[in-house]
Amino acid sequence: MPKISVKIDDKDLEVEVGTTVLDVCRANDIDIPTMCHLKGLVDVGACRLCLVEVEGTSKLLPSCTTKVQANQVIHTQTDKLKKYRRMITELFFAERNHVCSVCIANGNCELQDLGYKVGMENVRFPYLFQNCEVDSSHSKFVMDHNRCIMCTRCVRVCSDVEGAHNWGIMNRGYQVRIIADFNVPWGDSTTCTYCGKCVDVCPTGALWNKDATQGSMQKYPQAVSDLVEKREMKS
């Protein structure tokens, strides 16, 4: 494929046409935080953590869905971007009920890691303290809406990788929720295949195995990415 020249954080790079800014950064050890992105899933730009500044453009652009163009000058670590990333992280914590000390994913949570990465020492926004449900109707898994950050990884892995289309999205704003089928208890779903892929890709403690205890939940998102890569190589 033809290549084009771009500059990212003062690095002059030659990249293939059609490559996203995020993929270029990952390939060249340029760190950009993400939450909704997972290799193998279609990117939707939901979390807004991967925003970058492109010279000549007044808007901040999501690097996961923005493709590089010839002679672009891109910045990924400006003070403005760092401020936005910390603000977004704080809003994640304020919107639902994230109490790390009693969470099933404590010590193995991407949101928790993100808080440390952006230097979050406190949350400056008022907590909503939503009355979120915990759906334990499934025989193997639990959905805890208190921990969900609406990254939609579970929705996309269920539809794009497993092909079951069990998960969907209901409502908008702070009332938005992940739902099974047409908003039925997960245990009553007729489309769930019990594969557990949604549990593996969940970055927080929103989805977990019933046999897990506090702080013991292990997630394996890379296993899903590897599965997609093997499928692509065979095709």
Q: How confident is the model at residue 235 (pLDDT cuts 50, 70, 90)?
A: low
Upper half-sphere CA count for residue 227 (Cβ side, 13 Å) = 14
- Residue linked to tokens 């959905």: 143
**Which residues are CB-neighbours of 194 under 8 A, at least 6 positions away?**
140
Map out the domains of the chain as residue ranges. Answer: 3-77, 96-234
CATH label, 3-77, candidates 3.40.50.920, 3.90.1150.10, 3.10.20.740, 3.40.50.2000 = 3.10.20.740
For residues 205 and 100, give the distance between their C-alpha atoms in angstroms, rounded to a whole number. Answer: 9
Q: What are the pLDDT digits (tens) for 121-130?
A: 999 999 999 9
Q: What are the pLDDT digits (tens) for 34-88?
A: 999 999 999 999 999 999 999 999 999 999 999 999 999 999 999 999 999 999 9
CATH class of the domain comprising 96-234 = alpha beta
For residue 234, what pLDDT is reported? 78
Residue 228 predicted with pLDDT over 90 = no
8 Å CB contact between 103 and 93 = no
Residue 131 predicted with pLDDT over 90 = yes
Q: Do domains 3-77 and 96-234 have the same CATH topology?
A: no
Q: How confident is the model at residue 215 (pLDDT cuts 50, 70, 90)?
A: confident
8 Å CB contact between 193 and 158 = no
